[in-house]
Amino acid sequence: MQWYWAALLLFGLGVGLMMLGIPVAIAFFATNIVAAALFMGGGPGIVQVINNGFGAMTSFALVPIPMFLLMGELFYHTGLATKCFNAADKLLGNVRGRLAYVTLIGGTAFAGPAGSSMGACALLGSLMVPEMMRRGYSKYLSIGPIMGVGGLAVIIPPSALTVLLATLGRTDVADLLIAGVVPGFLLASMYGVLIWAWTVILPEAAPAYAPEPVSRREKIRLFFVDVIPMVAIIVFSVIIMIVGWCTPTEAAALGALSVIVLAACYGEMTWKALVKSLNGALRVTVMAFLIIFGSATFAQVLAFTGASSGLMNWALGFDVTPLGMLFVMIGVILFLGCFMDQLSMMLLTAPIFFPLAKTLGFDLTWFGLIMLLALEIGYTTPPFGLLLFVMKGVAPPGTTMKDIYLAGMPFIACVLLLIGLIIIFPPLATWLPAMSH
Amino acid sequence: ISATHVFPASLIYSRSFLEFVKKANDAGRGEFTIQVRGGPEAIGMMEQPGAVRSGVVDMVYSPCAFYAAVVPECDAVSASTVDGPTARKNGGIDLLNQIHQKRMGVVLLGWVDSGIRFTLWSTKEPKFDSGGHIDIKGFKVRGNPIYNAFLTNYLGAQVININSSELYTALERGTVDITAWTQIGLMDLNWDRYIKYRILPDFFETDLMIIMNQKKWTSLSPKTREILQRTAIEHESASLQSLQELWKKEQAELAQRGIKTLAQSPDASRRFVAGARAASLARMKERTEKAGGMENYERIVQLFTPG
Amino acid sequence: MAIAAGFLMAAMMVVICLDVVLRNLGYQSSAHFFTFTEYALLAVPCLGAPWLVREKGHIYVEILLMTLKPRPRKLLTCVIGGVCIAVCAILAWYGLDVTISDFLQNEKDVRSLDMPRWMVVGFIPLSFAMMGIEFLRFVVRREDFLGSLGGQSE
Ligand code: NA
Ligand code: NA
């Protein structure tokens, strides 16, 4: 069978089943079963899919996700989060959409060192979304910024995905990491402008209630009692990562533990809160992992049938200018990003794209950064995006998948704009690495 | 003939395998073609040996250690004192091939990319005791399930388990001070930015195997089998030579990049290498006793570690 | 099973913390800790998945379902249920196959210890079988097993 038939069958079946309303994980499994039976020799093929899934699950470097989730849920259910945001609300005064900015600033500070998009999104999602919706923020404004910030975790160093991409592309890791700093903060500022524009154009998205006036003494008390301890935990988990005391996973676990300790100090650590937190974290973990199980094996089947390399070689076969070829490559990543997780995509595309970029005379750091941004978009593009699913897991009941798709769109537009800027103005990516030499 | 390789295509070892495939396809034009389906993106790293065993894929390029629980004799390869061509000549590979067929239902085409050893790469300068033994108490060493026992028991090192994709950041931050890695390929991963010392002696040996599903193998025409086998044997020597040349080049480059080589005293080195070998062979013995087939144990040990 | 999964997750947190603390106190922590977290990573979703079906927590794209009238929607829900059951049944069956052959061939998973592979792989068929049963219960009771649509309920 030609690769395009295999590709058509796999993508068509996967998307078709999902659109029918079959749970995403099951849709992937069904596609995998059909494909394995067809291309991998029937029964043994299905057995292989199960074995692949086993391998993916036990080694995917996924441990941070449940730990970050647990940390977020604990913050929320012990009431520490509400305390802190009440305080932030009062302290910030009458800024429209202030919690969206809190998400953005806090998220950028946290996502950077955490380096795990899904972890950061899970933490912020379980922390902020219920709180913001409770205060009458529109669901789009509550959900969107968090997915945007989740994507930042990849660009702002350190980030495991960046290291992996540079390794696969055989280019300089440090340069690529450093290259992400300027665009990362630029992107965060673009998000800031976006939120501001949003609240100006659609004022009803963020409720304009004036906070009750607070005395200066009360403000100081709020700051020290309600804000500082929580910020301290986040700062603590960031610092122990940066000084090399432990890995991000371990930092997340310690973070969760310190929330328990802190909550106990406030007398808020009840058995009920613990059970609720475990329940919430478990929900999202199970859901996300099942989907990862399905999608990781889907990507493998796709690669095994030759559909992925066929698609890539076909796309690269066009006779176009270097710039045209760059757009083709971005296009391939964006397309694959609709169906696959970032790791699989990297393994698939990097060994082909980087040598090609080299022959086209591109600066590999610049190219790597563009590729990273394009990969990051895949986190939030429908129908399949890991951040979308994490978000759906932590969002309050009644939030539909469509809401989440739409909420992510403006932030995707920002990333596309940034890619455009970097193409037009390469020093955005290359200046800082050059300075560091 | 479908094939997969356990490492990403960009790694030096995978490139060597792809070269083998190219040679075989050139030699077998009109007779057969090997279609490479990809690396870990097609079938997970640790799942590939199982896949060739069940016949989902016909040929796999994998370290023997990945399936050492099925073929315990793999440990003799990593502990070996000889290289591929030597083991081919003295009959070691033939015996290992028979064991592969019996235990796992796969044919061992060749032990390629041999002759490369493992090295301890460190970011901090280690101390040496009066006997010239390296003293790395308090150093954090990146572990590998396969070598952990040796690292902790012999060196008393603190082992940290970490994904190799996270290792760069871990070295930068000092979460990890020492990592064991093959002699070559360090600079491909850019770890040389943080690595300052190479600690001799080198130990263990790469154990990369090209294996094929046995049923598939017997279904091929005699001519195809002959070409495949011949190309594999040629590649055993060719890859040995080209990787040794690469290692020479990389050594010069590493020295130029300021990586110092420290050596334990000759006596300590001997003990170190012997310790590593003993740890491997002990595990092999233990596993073979459980799995049966002890009658080959002595011969395998003798053929792969004659020195 | 969900309780076991929740417990495992809490245990993961404790084990990871313990690992860090021990290491930084200068003790040699056991490599088995790490292996435990990797296995827990498989066990948690496997144990939790059937519970998630009962809780209607699985993610699906509801765009088509939302546009349908109640009757065809009900029909489609049944079809979806059928597909879910079939998929779970197939995976449970082949998962069992893997588990049994791993057991018979004495296959080991090589990590910090040689774990008999069937003991860990066995979570997969167990999970899918239970998931299938949960889906079946919903279909038999003619209940809507997908979560709330567009905020109509809850
Ligand atoms: Na980051
Ligand atoms: Na996507």
pLDDT single digits (tens) A45-64:
787 777 777 776 665 456 66
Q: Which is more confident, C112 or A365?
A: A365
Instruction: For chain A, say whether B175 makes contact (Cβ under 8 Å).
Output: yes
Q: Whole-angstrom distance between the N-terminal and C-terminal Cα of chain B?
A: 38
| CB-CB neighbors (< 8 A) of A55 in chain B | 44-47
Each as own residue / partner, the long-range contacts of residues A319-322 (CB below 8 Å, 24 or more positions apart, any chain) are: A322/A360, A322/A361, A322/A362
pLDDT for A398: 77
> Who among C31, C108, C109 is closest to B161 (CB)?
C31
The residue with tokens 């190309």 is B231
Q: For all residues of chain A together, what is the average pLDDT?
A: 79
Q: For residue A372, is pLDDT > 50?
A: yes
Chains that touch B (3 or more CB pairs under 8 A): A, C
Locate all alpha helices (DSSP H) within A169-270, ordered by sequence.
173-179, 181-201, 216-222, 228-242, 248-266
Cross-chain residue pair A158–B41, CB shorter than 8 Å = no
Q: What percent of chain A has pLDDT over 70?
A: 88
Distance, CA of B14 to CA of B39 (rounded, Å) = 8
The alpha-carbon gap from B283 to the nearest alpha carbon of chain A, in Å, equals 24
Radius of gyration, CA atoms only, chain C: 20
Q: Which is more confident, B90 or A115?
A: B90
Digit-coded pLDDT (tens) for A20-48: 777 878 888 888 888 888 877 777 778 77
Phi first, then psi: give them for residue A67, nearest 5 degrees.
-70, -45
Query: Dmax of chain A from CA atoms?
Result: 75
Please give the average per-residue pLDDT across A62-90, as a whole number.
73
Q: For residue B200, is pLDDT > 60?
A: yes
Instruction: For chain B, say whether C137 makes contact (Cβ under 8 Å).
Output: no
Please give the average per-residue pLDDT across A86-109, as a whole number.
75
The alpha-carbon gap from A270 to the nearest alpha carbon of chain B, in Å, equals 34
Contact A2, C68 (CB under 8 A): no
The residue with tokens 């998205």 is A205
The alpha-carbon gap from A260 to the nearest alpha carbon of chain C, in Å, equals 11
Structure tokens at A350: 């990097």
The alpha-carbon gap from B127 to the nearest alpha carbon of chain A, in Å, equals 22
Contact B12, B205 (CB under 8 A): no
> Who among B46, B162, B166 is closest to A55 (CB)?
B46
Digit-coded pLDDT (tens) for B41-53: 788 787 888 889 8
> Who among A47, A246, A401 is closest to C61 (CB)?
A401
Q: A241 CA distance to ligand 1 centroid (A)?
A: 11
Please give the average per-residue pLDDT across C128-136, as a whole number.
84
Distance, CA of C154 to CA of C147 (rounded, Å) = 10
Contact B177, A249 (CB under 8 A): no
Q: For all residues of chain C together, what is the average pLDDT?
A: 73
Mutate to test the interface with B, among A2, A247, A352, A364 (most CBs of B within 10 A): A247
- By DSSP bridging, strand B2-5 and strand B59-63 are parallel
Mutate to test the interface with A, among C54, C73, C87 (most CBs of A within 10 A): C87
Q: For residue A96, is pLDDT > 90?
A: no
Q: A376 CA distance to ligand 2 centroid (A)?
A: 9
**Domain residue ranges in chain C:** 2-150
> Who among A293, A383, A397 is closest to C148 (CB)?
A397
Please give the average per-residue pLDDT across B150-159, as a whole number.
73
Contact A203, A96 (CB under 8 A): yes
| CB-CB neighbors (< 8 A) of C80 in chain A | 20-23
Q: For residue C151, is pLDDT > 60?
A: no
Cross-chain residue pair B41–A160, CB shorter than 8 Å = no
Other residues' Cβ atoms within 10 Å of the Cβ of residue A92? 13
Q: A112 CA distance to ligand 1 centroid (A)?
A: 4
Digit-coded pLDDT (tens) for B169-197: 778 777 788 888 888 877 777 788 888 88
Q: A181 CA distance to ligand 1 centroid (A)?
A: 10
Model pTM score: 0.76
The alpha-carbon gap from C30 to the nearest alpha carbon of chain B, in Å, equals 8
- By DSSP bridging, strand B106-112 and strand B208-213 are antiparallel
